[in-house]
Structure 1
Amino acid sequence: MKIRLNENQTKIFAAVFDDKMQMHKKCPREIAFWGGYGSGKSFISIIISYYLCSQHKDVQMLMTRFSYRQLKDTCIVQFKEIFPPEEYGYYHSKSDNEFHFDNGSRIIFRSFDDPRKILSSSFDAVIMCQAEELKEEHFLGALGRLRGTALPKKLIFTEGNPRFGWCKKRYHDQDLPDNCMYIRASTYSNKKNLPSDYIKNMEENYPPSYIKQFLEGNWDSVQNAVYDCLMDHHIIPKQRIHKHWYKCIGLDHGTRVDTSIVFLAKDETGNIYIYDEWHKSKPLVYEIVEACNKYGPMPIIADYSMKVSDRDYGSWWKDLQSEGLRLIEAKKEKSGNILLINKLLWQNKLMFFDHLNYVIDQHKNYRYVDTLHANHDEFKVVKKDDHSVDAVQYAVRHIKDIKVKSPADAFKPDINKKTLRDYVEGRA
């Protein structure tokens, strides 16, 4: 495989490896690579992981993200695409979530949704992917687990996108820690390795604050309001929801707080309308079913945590399915969902009917945690009065790729369909 590194990746690679592909004696203890989307952060972390393990015996390498679902869908998939195991001398032990090398080295994939799996082990090196999603205590805990002896120097590598939280303080707001190599990169710095229309598409579709933050990798552009593109013109009078539009429901279930249901429709031009809602605190199963069936059966995009049996109740997911509701697991990638909503608002493709005060107010008041009161915690939003916000995110993530036919195509007669005359005259 031919690997083409950009300038920033080359600097990092040269800091970690000497000309014999061994770990450099002057390798920094901490490397932080932060910046815009597509700037090559994940790629270089995978390169470092592979060569440290393949060139040194008995290395215990930890690669981590916040949740295992994220690890499985991104880190593990990307690693195997770059270094297919059948070609590069390692074995993927799926039962252990580990890569095993012939020389005794291991890459161990663990997530922080169960920190005990990480903080009870010792490692030679740690790769923290999308570290802005993690808590500072996760970072410090991983730092304390660097107790291995297989490498000449211990290494912790963090990468991510500019966000509020401990990472901004550590790498931007104050002097860098001792023996730390920090690189901030823009998307433009990796242009030669990106699809030709990648940057242009982002420039045309992202709001200005997102271009600064996620293309330029600018820490100072971070906003406290989550939906800073939500304007008055996105709130419109009620209008007809046409029969041929695609319709679905977003459902955020609360056991002890509000359950929120939102109704969405998408037209043939790609416009998405939030046209109705329902909410209630501690509703019963039949009440949720009745609310969801208000406009007839339709797909319901719901939080998959409902599958877990409640201590006092059971599985809400199974009970709602048994009542005939068509439930689809929501994609709960918070940062990606927020980005998608802001992108649609910037493009004027997402509209709220003006009678939905509950939904509109929650979206207007949706905020990131203020760093002054966050105890330098991880990037996160304020989890209060956001039930309809989550429901909208679930539904929009589902509906975004749905193609809606025009009325002419949707209602075009089927010339091959048999008519009554065909049956009477014996042609059917």
Structure 2
Amino acid sequence: MKSKKIRLPDIVGKGYKDFWNFKGRYKVVKGSRASKKSKTIALWIIYSMMKYRGANTLVVRKVYRTLKDSCYSDLRWAINRLNVLEYWEFKESPLEITYIPTGQKILFRGFDDPLKITSISVSDGVLCWCWCEEAYEINREQDFNMLDESIRGIVEPPLFKQFIISFNPWNERHWLKKRFFDVEDENIMAKTTNYMCNEWLDESDKKLFEDMKKNNPRRYQVAGLGNWGIVEGLVYENWEEKEFDYTEVAKMHGVKSAFGLDFGYTNDPTALFCGLIDVANRTIYVFDEIYRNAMKNREIAEEIIRKGYGKEKITADSQEPKSIDELYDLGLKGIRNSRKGKDSINNGIQYIQDYKIIIHPRCVNFITEISNYMWDKDKFDNAVNKPVDDFNHLMDAMRYALEDYTKGPTFSFD
């Protein structure tokens, strides 16, 4: 094998020395756009696999199909930047990159096929490194734990096990913050980066961020500085988390109860919204919830009755009339179908947007959803008048619950 000399700082740049040298189990990087975090990770993986014989890497994202145009592309870029293309082989079906001299591999998997993650193995060396890109997409910490537990077995020095976790920060309620940024652990390096450590940006690139700082400071905090928060595009912004006694609120003049049910089973949770609406003061109070996968109809009825809501009027997703009938027979005599009509989602959203939403802290799933319920974007990254089909189970249940108050024609909330 021919010898090639490179000066690593010239290739990698500045701002990531601690990242580059850390050998603990979790190396976590959140950052703004243009902070070169993904490119730096790709360079580290290629450099380290060539340095450490026997090391293999798993690269994961929530959805497998997104890997080709992100991590796979970044790793190809890193191989070219290090000028070692002749030593690497690429395959696209399935995605795979092989270091030719030793047979070490970079494998790619998605959380949309969890069996392929838990059963992964390599024929040469050991699987010791894992890059989890866009980790904010992983909504449930238990899904990450499944991945974490899949990288197991003895790794002999000088090799070491390590998870590299990278993401743009969405909001401070994400499990990533509590797990990696709110603790002190010698096994964790949690780092925040931003565009100011990227010395390869030109003046026009930098001006974009300076203009953002001036014209849209909220966006700048996240997209510019890499701080926790929401960049833009939330469907509901007029809400707060606040302790309150719902029995006292229910006694207030004109306040009515509102319950909505969205059905789920294997992949999606069954979601019950429990709220109070004060039309005169344009306020919605969210005081309780049910949010659980794999609930059979009998379990749904039993849980609602156990919580004391069995006699309430509950508006449920009209796409499951059989389940609604069964729940009625199981004792929920106030359950009914949501109504049908055109533009139901947007009309429901527009009505709710005129209200302030106060959320009891125990409604953790509602808080997670409402702080991640976003407007969708087209292929040009422009917002469209349709919410993303995610973080929407309790959001849908809330609209069902409030349909009697929605103005205009009859709507469907499915």
Q: Name the TM-score class by shorter chain.
A: 0.5 to 0.7
Query: Which TM-score applies when normalising by structure 2?
Result: 0.53
The one-letter code sitting in structure 2 at the alignment partner of 1:156 is: F
In the other structure, the counterpart of 1:309 is none
Question: How big is each residue's C-alpha offset from its partner over 1:367-410, in whole Å with a ceiling of 9 and x where there is no partner?
Answer: 9x9996447x9x974499x8xx76x634874799xxxxxxxxxx
2-side partners of 1:371 and 1:224: how far apart?
23
Cα drift, residue 62 of structure 1: 0.5
- 1:104–1:394: structure 2 CA closer, same or farther, 3 Å change rule? same
Determine if the alignment matches structure 1 residue 130 to structure 2 residue 134: yes
Which one of 159, 162, 166 corresponds to residue 175 of structure 2?
166
Partner in structure 1 of residue 189 of structure 2? 181
- Please show how residues 8-407 of structure 1 align to structure 2 within 5 Å: 8-13=15-20, 15-16=21-22, 27-84=23-80, 87-102=85-100, 103-122=102-121, 123-134=127-138, 135-147=140-152, 149=155, 152-162=159-169, 163=171, 164-172=173-181, 174-190=182-198, 192-205=199-212, 207-219=216-228, 221-222=229-230, 226=234, 357-358=347-348, 360-361=350-351, 373-374=363-364, 381-382=369-370, 393-394=377-378, 397=381
Q: 1:155 to 1:89 in 2, by over 3 A?
A: same
CA contact (8 A) 1:49 1:107 kept: no
Length-normalised TM-score, structure 1: 0.51
Deviation at 1:223, TM superposition (A): 7.8
Q: Which residue of 1 aligns with 2:295?
A: none
Q: Distance in 2 between matches of 1:73 and 1:364?
A: 40
From the two aligned structures, give the one with the greater strand fraction.
2
Structure 1 vs Structure 2 CA RMSD: 4.0
CA contact (8 A) 2:223 2:231 kept: no
* DSSP-derived class of the 2:12 partner: coil
Kept in 1, the 8 Å contact 2:46–2:78? The answer is no
8 Å CA contact 1:225, 1:365 repeated in 2: no
Summarize the Cα distance change of 1:371–1:201 in structure 2 as closer, same or farther, 3 Å threshold.
farther
Distance of aligned partners of 1:80 and 1:364 in 2 relative to their CA distance in 1, 3 Å threshold: farther
**CA displacement at 1:158 relative to structure 2:** 0.7
CA contact (8 A) 2:32 2:194 kept: yes
Conserved 8 A contact 1:90-1:100? yes
CA offset digits 1:149-208 (Å, max 9, x no partner): 365211111111223311111233x22334111211222222x12232223214425622
Q: CA deviation at 1:52?
A: 2.2
State the partner residue of 1:260.
none
Partners in 2 of 1:226 and 1:399 — Cα distance? 11
SS in 2 for 1:83: helix
In the alignment, residue 87 of structure 2 is paired with which amino acid? G
Partner letter of residue 142 of structure 1? Answer: L
Q: Within 1, Cα distance between the matches of 2:133 and 2:356?
A: 26
Distance 2:119 2:189 in 1: 27
TM superposition shift of 1:358: 4.8
C-alpha deviation, 1:89, in angstroms: 0.8
Judge conservation of contact 1:165–1:374 (CA < 8 Å) in 2. no
**Distance between the aligned counterparts of 1:380 and 1:83, measured in 2?**
39
Query: 2:350 is matched by which residue type in structure 1?
Result: I
Determine the C-alpha separation between the residues in 2 that align with 1:104 and 1:165.
Answer: 38
Q: Which runs of 5+ in 2 are unaligned?
A: 1-5, 122-126, 239-263, 265-345, 385-414
Secondary structure of the 1:213 match is: helix
How far, CA to CA, are the matches of 2:17 and 2:136 in structure 1? Answer: 23
Alignment gaps of 5+ in structure 1: 17-26, 231-255, 257-355, 401-428
Amino acid at match of 1:360: Q
Q: Give yes or no for contact 1:35–1:184 (8 Å, CA) kept in 2.
A: yes
Please report how far the alpha carbon of residue 357 of structure 1 lies from its aligned counterpart in structure 2 after TM superposition: 4.5
